Amino acid sequence: MKKTDVLVLGGLSGITAGLSCRRHYPDKSVTLVRKEGTVLIPCGIPYIFGTVGGPQNNVVPDGLLESNSIELIKGEAVAIDRDKKIATLKDTTQIEYDKLIFATGSLPVIPPIPGINKKNVFPVKKEFEYLGDVLNSMKTVEDVVIIGGGFIGVEFADECRKGRDINVTLVEALPHCLQMAMDDEYCTEAEGRLNEAGVKIMVNTMVKEIVGDDVVTGVKLADGTVLKADAVILGIGANPNTFLAEKAGLELGYKKAIKVDRYMQSYSDPNIFACGDCAEKFSFFNGRPVPIMLASIATAEARIAGANLFSPVHQNCGAISVFSTMINKRAFAVAGITERMAKQSEMSYVIGRHEASDTHPVGMPDSSIVKVKIVFAKSTGVILGGSISGGRSAGEMINVLSACIMHRMTANDMAQFQMGTHPALTPSPIAYPIVNAACKAVLEIHCH
C-alpha cells in the first residue's frame, strides 16, 4: 500500500494547496490524485474558442508539481475510509494518508430542459479532450445559441464570434445579462459591447425545449419562438462536486458543499480539509453561506488549507467576491457589494462615482475612459464594494478596491490614498478615479 503524509484530491486548487503545504511543511510527503490528464485554467475556457485558439494553450503545466516534489497520480478516487485513513482509487490502488484535502471542484449545471441530451448541446466541462471535441465541432456550425447570460455565457458569446462568421444568440431569463453580478448601468454597457460584436441578446426569455432528432436543430422558447441552432452552449452555472465527500460521510452545507471552518478544516473530520468550488463559502460581510465560485477564492482557500494542515496558521476572512471580465475589448469588474445588493439588503449607503482616462494626457496610446462607482456605508463611511469598467487597468484597480474592503477602509482613508502614477500606465494623480470617487462620498457622508 502506498503511504503519504498529505493526499490532495483534485485539480487547480489542489495544485495550490499542495504548493502551500510544501512551503509550510517542507519535510512532508505530498501526493496529488486527479482524474484529468491535463489541468485547464478554468477562467480561460471560453477563450479556447477564440483568443487562445485551443485547449492546449490554456493549461497548467505539471512541471510545477515536479519541481516542488509533489507526486502526481492520474486516477480517480472512488472511496475514502476515514477510520483507516485510506483512499481507494478506481484501479483499486490504495493510498494511506495522514491529512486529506478535497479540491474536487464543481460540475456544470445541466437543467431538466426537454432535449438537453441531444448531440451538439454542450455543457461547459473542465475537460481537455472534451473541449477539444467541442472546438472541432464549432468549425462547421452556423447558428449557436448560448443559454445563460452570466460570465460563462457572455464570454463564450464574445469569443465564438472571433474568426467565425456565425450567428450567436444569447438567451437570459433575467432582465439583463450579468445581472447577478453587476449594477444595471454596467450590465447595459456590457450588453452594448456584445451587440457591437454581433451577438444577438434575448433577455426576460425562458427556454422551453431543445428541438431536433438526434442532433439539435433549434431552441424553443417559452413564447413558442424557435431559434435555429446547430450548437447549444449551456452557461447556467455549476454545482459543487461533492459526491465522494458525501459518500465518505462528510457533513455538507449550502448547495451541498463541504462544510468547513475558517481554517478550511471539515466539520466532520479533523484530518480532512477542503478548498475551492467543493468547499462551502461564507460572506465576508455577514458570514452567511454564499454560492460564489471564483478561481481567486479557490486559490486563496487552497493556500489557507495547505498552511493549516498540521498547525493553524491562516484564517479565511470570507468571500469578498472580486471578479473581472473582458467583453469586446472593454473590461468590467466588481468587488464586494453592488448598489443593487445594498438596496436589496436595505442598507443605508452612499455612492461615490468618477470617470477619468487611464492615461494622462488622454491622447496617450491605448487610452480608455475608466468608470468607477464605489459603495460606502453611510453611517461609518466604510467601503462595501465597487464597480469598474474601462481598459486593462480595471483588472488591477478592482484588486485595489478588494484590499480596501478587506481592511475595512473608510472613504476618508481612501481620499488620502497615495498612488504611484505614470502618463502611460495610470490615470492622472489629479483625476485618479478611486480617490476622486472616495472624495465625493466623503462630502455626501459629512453632509448627512
Per-residue pLDDT of the chain (448 residues; tens, 9 = 90+): 999 999 999 988 999 999 999 999 999 999 999 988 788 888 889 898 888 888 888 888 878 888 999 999 999 999 999 999 999 999 999 999 999 999 999 999 999 999 999 999 999 999 989 999 999 998 899 999 999 999 999 999 999 988 889 999 999 999 999 999 999 999 999 999 999 999 999 999 999 999 999 999 999 999 999 999 999 999 999 999 999 999 999 999 999 999 999 999 999 999 999 999 999 999 999 999 999 999 999 999 999 999 999 999 999 999 999 999 999 999 999 999 999 999 999 999 999 999 999 999 888 888 999 999 999 999 999 999 999 999 999 999 999 999 999 999 999 999 999 999 999 999 999 999 999 999 999 988 876 5
Domain with CATH 3.30.390.30 in the chain: 329-447
Q: Could you tell me the three cell numbers for 245?
A: 465527500
Query: Residue 15 forms beta bridges with which residues?
Result: none
- CA 329 to each of CA 43, 55, 128, 242, 297: distance values in angstroms, whole numbers, following the listed order: 17, 22, 26, 36, 25
Is the separation of the CB atoms in 119 and 217 below 8 Å? no
Could you give the dihedral angle defined by the CA atoms of residues 374, 378, 382 and 385, in that order, rounded to the nearest 10 degrees? -30
Q: Round to whole Å and give the CA distance between 330 and 54.
A: 23
**Residues 166/142, Cβ–Cβ less than 8 Å:** yes
110-236 CATH: 3.50.50.60
CA distances from 361 to 101, 369, 390, 425, 433 (A): 51, 12, 16, 11, 15
Q: Does the 329-447 domain belong in CATH 3.30.390.30?
A: yes
Could you give the CA distance from residue 139 to residue 264 in angstroms, rounded to a whole number?
A: 43
d(CA 180, CA 113): 22
The confidence score (pLDDT) of residue 320 equals: 97
Q: Is the peptide bond before 61 cis (omega within 30 degrees of 0)?
A: no
Q: What pLDDT, on the 0 to 100 scale, is given for residue 61? A: 82
CB atoms within 10 A of CB 276: 35
For CA atoms 333, 339, 340, 345, the dihedral sign is: positive
Q: What is the pLDDT of residue 52?
A: 85
List all residues 6 or more positions away from 148 whose beta carbon is below 8 Å from its beta carbon: 171, 172, 234, 235, 236, 237
Domain with CATH 3.50.50.60 in the chain: 2-107+239-308, 110-236
CATH topology of domain 2-107+239-308: FAD/NAD(P)-binding domain (3.50.50)
Residue 11, pLDDT score: 81
Query: Residue 116: helix, strand or coil by DSSP?
Result: coil
Scored b (16 or more CB within 10 A) or e, 213-234 reads eeebbbbbbeeeeebebbbbbb
Q: What is the pLDDT of residue 42?
A: 84
DSSP one-letter code for 339 = H
Residues sharing a CB contact under 8 Å with residue 238, sequence separation 6 or more, in sequence order: 106, 107, 108, 109, 277, 293
